[in-house]
């Protein structure tokens, strides 16, 4: 099949996403988010997310088809995030995708959410170099991936040992009295601050840690350091320089993220780095990554922010590449796997 | 040609009904794998009836109450299947009503009946029915609570569903050979009677395709994630 029309469904967290991709062309990406409903809890509430997915599914399917100007009957394959993610939320998407595949009589592809974050960039910047190095950073994941073939062969080089990068942004935002989700607010406030004002720790970057956890990340120590620093200020009755704290914290995160990504490029002989996930929207991460990639002679790919956060287009894009590469589809008994390993690209 | 789906109790299943009778029914017993079992069951029931999805004209689904995760699998499957075929939105049937309807079809006792199913967290979903010659009429419920908290006169009624098996002290009236889980074929039959006006609850009609949650999301539990 040359340019298959693939419909992708994503429900691994709080976004109900339905994307339509023809070959490597994005037709439309429809998103319904329940983020507002979670804001008052300071984090995603799984049951609230699952209920929202159920309510949003058919309206989001309708909207995607309407805006893309296609009929469901023209869809050649359905792909869906099978994992990793919130179990109950994944299940709504997987059941929907099966029902749609059954209704349309087309193949079903259960795909890995992390692989989809990498695959989405083909709709923006063309075919992926093989191999590509993927740095995925969001509220749910922080991973370094070696990607020889995004439809088939992905190897995990490292991951966070504790908090995901985006989670650290949320927690530090809370410490600083900024709203949820914290990423965009810290990014905004940090522009007014001094990124070298406070020397916050860089997790897993020194001596033995770097040997043992070469490409792993850790952000919980950083978060604790920020909390202690702020508490000490408050205890001393001094004002907290929010912009400086935000900028210095952000610098510590993006410094480690990019430093290890470039180290992995060098050691694995990879010339292309792709950054995905919601934290890829962070302006300082983009700037520092560009600077360091330029210095190292590595090409940097970052999809536009709307494609970095969770969406259906990324699932459709990966599904379309699987169809084009002739990968076998999944069965109707496809399980949702909340802890699906990244090596398992297709279920 | 009507497709009925239910995932509110310990079974996962689908049935096809032609307006007169249930043509085929496929039921799998596993309350933890609704997501994996339902779509193959739908596929299998169509094959068994010698039909394809193109033959379907209507979809109904059990809307619970039932454990949320499994319940949603059935409801969203019905919603998307109907949408994907260009059919009218599916209609919902209270899953407890389907258990009561099974009692009616099986030759009802001369008293009211309690339907009580497993709501997890040491609680039951329950409803009370009057058995009339033309069907089981819901008098109370659906509601959720600990078995021991049900009204005294309800607790001693003849009971069906898994609630009586789980809490025999509080609900001693479990009928021998009582249906424990929803049969999608029985649910299909009930849907046809409800829309045909021949059931005592026909006035109440069918329900929108939305889960009967009866409980609010537990946000505190999520906070500690
Ligand atoms: Zn993601």
pLDDT at A36: 79
The reply to whether A139 and A114 lie within a common domain is no
How far apart are alpha carbons A122 and A217 in whole angstroms?
27
The reply to whether A62 and A174 lie within a common domain is no
Mean pLDDT of B74-101: 98
The reply to whether A34 and A174 lie within a common domain is no
The reply to whether A141 and A107 lie within a common domain is no
More confident residue, B220 or A133: A133
Please give the structure tokens belonging to residue B159. Answer: 């009971």
User: Domain spans of chain B?
Assistant: 2-94+182-196, 96-166
| B118 CA: distance to closest CA in chain A (Å) | 19
How far apart are alpha carbons A312 and A31 in whole angstroms?
7
Give the domain range for residue A251.
132-305
Band of residue B219 on the pLDDT scale cut at 50, 70, 90 = low
The reply to whether A206 and A269 lie within a common domain is yes
Mean pLDDT of B153-178: 95
Q: How many CB pairs under 8 A join A and B?
A: 114
Please give the structure tokens belonging to residue B136. Answer: 């089981």
pLDDT at B220: 53
> Strands, DSSP E only, in B89-187?
91-93, 113-118, 124-132, 135-145, 159-160
Q: Which residues of chain A have pLDDT under 50?
A: none
Tell whether the model's pLDDT for residue B221 goes beyond 60.
no
Please give the structure tokens belonging to residue A111. Answer: 């795909």
Q: Tell how far the Cα of A264 is from the centroid of ligand 1, in angstroms.
A: 21
**Does residue B67 sit in helix, strand or coil?**
coil
- Record: contact B222-A44, CB cut-off 8 A: yes
How many domains are there within chain A? 2
- Record: contact A54-B72, CB cut-off 8 A: yes
Q: Tell how far the Cα of A117 is from the centroid of ligand 1, in angstroms.
A: 7
CATH number of the domain bearing residue A31: 3.30.420.40
Task: Express the helix, strand and coil content of chain A in percent, nearest 5 each.
Answer: 45, 20, 35
Q: Report chain A residues whose CB lies below 8 A from the CB of B64.
A: none
Q: Tell how far the Cα of A204 is from the centroid of ligand 1, in angstroms.
A: 23
pLDDT at B224: 37
* Binding-site residues on chain A for chain B (CB distance < 8 A): 41-48, 50-51, 53-55, 57-58, 61-62, 72, 87-88, 91-92, 94-96, 98-100, 102-105, 331-336
Q: Tell how far the Cα of A219 is from the centroid of ligand 1, in angstroms.
A: 18
The reply to whether A138 and A59 lie within a common domain is no
* Tokens 């090409």 sit on residue: A299
Rounded to 5°, angle at Cα A40 from A39 and A45: 70
Mean pLDDT of B86-112: 95
Q: Is residue A343 part of a domain?
A: no
pLDDT at B225: 33
How far apart are alpha carbons A10 and A119 in whole angstroms?
14
pLDDT at A140: 85
Please give the structure tokens belonging to residue B155. Answer: 């607790």
Which H or E run includes B62? strand B58-62
In words, the CATH class of domain B2-94+182-196 is alpha beta
The reply to whether A13 and A67 lie within a common domain is yes
pLDDT at A235: 96
* Tokens 């809307």 sit on residue: B63
Q: Is residue A178 part of a domain?
A: yes
- Record: contact B68-A47, CB cut-off 8 A: yes
pTM of the entire structure? Answer: 0.94
Task: From the options 3.40.640.10, 3.30.420.40, 3.40.47.10, 3.50.50.60, give the CATH code of B96-166.
Answer: 3.30.420.40
pLDDT at B108: 78
The reply to whether A144 and A277 lie within a common domain is yes
B60: Cβ contacts below 8 Å, ≥ 6 apart: B2, B3, B4, B5, B78, B90, B91, B92, B93, B187, B188, B191, B206
Q: Report chain B residues whose CB lies below 8 A from the CB of A46.
A: 222, 225
The reply to whether A15 and A69 lie within a common domain is yes
Percentage of chain B beyond pLDDT 70 is 97
What is the complex's ipTM, to 2 decimals?
0.95
Q: Tell how far the Cα of A125 is from the centroid of ligand 1, in angstroms.
A: 19
On whether any CB of chain A is under 8 Å from the CB of B36, the answer is: yes
Mean pLDDT of B116-124: 96
């Amino acid at each position: 099949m040359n340019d298959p029309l693939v419909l992708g469904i994503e429900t691994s967290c709080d976004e109900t996403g339905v994307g339509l991709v023809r070959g490597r062309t994005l037709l439309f990406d429809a998103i319904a988010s329940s983020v507002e409903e979670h804001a008052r809890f300071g984090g995603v509430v799984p049951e609230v997310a699952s209920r929202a997915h159920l309510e949003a599914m058919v309206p989001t399917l309708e909207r995607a088809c309407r805006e893309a100007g296609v009929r469901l009957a023209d869809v050649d394959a359905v792909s869906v995030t099978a994992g990793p993610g919130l179990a109950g939320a994944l299940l709504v998407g997987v059941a929907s995708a099966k029902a749609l595949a059954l209704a349309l009589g087309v193949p079903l592809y259960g795909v890995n959410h992390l692989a989809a974050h990498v695959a989405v960039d083909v709709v923006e910047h063309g075919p992926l170099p093989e191999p590509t190095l993927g740095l995925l950073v969001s509220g749910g994941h922080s991973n370094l991936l070696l990607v020889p073939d995004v439809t088939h062969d992905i190897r995990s080089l490292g991951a966070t040992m504790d908090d995901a990068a985006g989670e650290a942004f949320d927690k530090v935002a809370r410490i600083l009295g900024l709203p949820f989700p914290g990423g965009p607010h810290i990014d905004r406030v940090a522009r007014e601050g001094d990124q070298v004002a406070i020397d916050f720790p860089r997790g897993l970057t020194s001596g033995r840690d770097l040997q043992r956890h070469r490409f792993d990340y850790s952000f919980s120590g950083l978060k604790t350091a920020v909390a202690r620093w702020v508490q000490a200020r408050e205890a001393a009755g001094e004002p907290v320089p929010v912009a400086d704290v935000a900028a210095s914290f952000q610098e510590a995160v993006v410094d480690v993220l990019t430093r290890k990504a470039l180290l992995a490029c060098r050691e694995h002989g990879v010339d292309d780095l792709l950054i995905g996930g919601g934290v890829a929207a962070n302006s300082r991460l983009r700037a520092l990554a560009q600077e360091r990639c330029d210095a190292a002679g590595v090409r940097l790919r970052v999809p536009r922010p709307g494609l970095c956060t969770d969406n259906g287009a990324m699932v459709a894009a990966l599904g379309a590449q699987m169809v084009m590469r002739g990968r076998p589809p999944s069965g109707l008994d496809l399980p949702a796997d909340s802890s699906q390993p990244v090596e398992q690209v297709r279920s | 040609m009507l497709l009925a789906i239910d995932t509110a109790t310990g079974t996962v299943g689908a049935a096809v009904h032609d307006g007169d009778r249930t043509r085929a029914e496929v039921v799998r017993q596993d309350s933890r794998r609704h997501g994996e079992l339902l779509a193959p069951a739908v596929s299998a029931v169509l094959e068994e009836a010698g039909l394809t999805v193109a033959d379907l004209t209507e979809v109904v689904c059990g809307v619970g109450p039932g454990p949320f995760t499994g319940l949603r699998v059935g409801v969203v499957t019905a919603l998307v299947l109907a949408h994907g075929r260009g059919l009218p939105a599916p209609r919902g049937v209270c899953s407890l009503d389907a258990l009561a309807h099974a009692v009616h079809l099986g030759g009802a006792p001369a008293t009211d009946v309690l339907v009580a199913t497993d709501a997890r967290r040491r609680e039951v979903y329950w409803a009370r029915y009057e058995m009339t010659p033309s069907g089981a009429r819901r008098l109370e419920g659906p509601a959720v609570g600990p078995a021991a908290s049900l009204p005294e006169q309800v607790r001693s009624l003849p009971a069906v569903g898994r609630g009586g098996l789980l809490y025999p002290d509080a609900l001693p009236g479990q009928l021998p050979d009582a249906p424990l889980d929803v049969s999608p074929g029985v649910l299909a039959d009930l849907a046809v009677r409800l829309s045909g006006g021949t059931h005592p609850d026909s006035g109440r009609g069918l329900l929108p395709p939305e889960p009967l949650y009866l409980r609010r999301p537990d946000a505190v539990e999520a906070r500690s994630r």
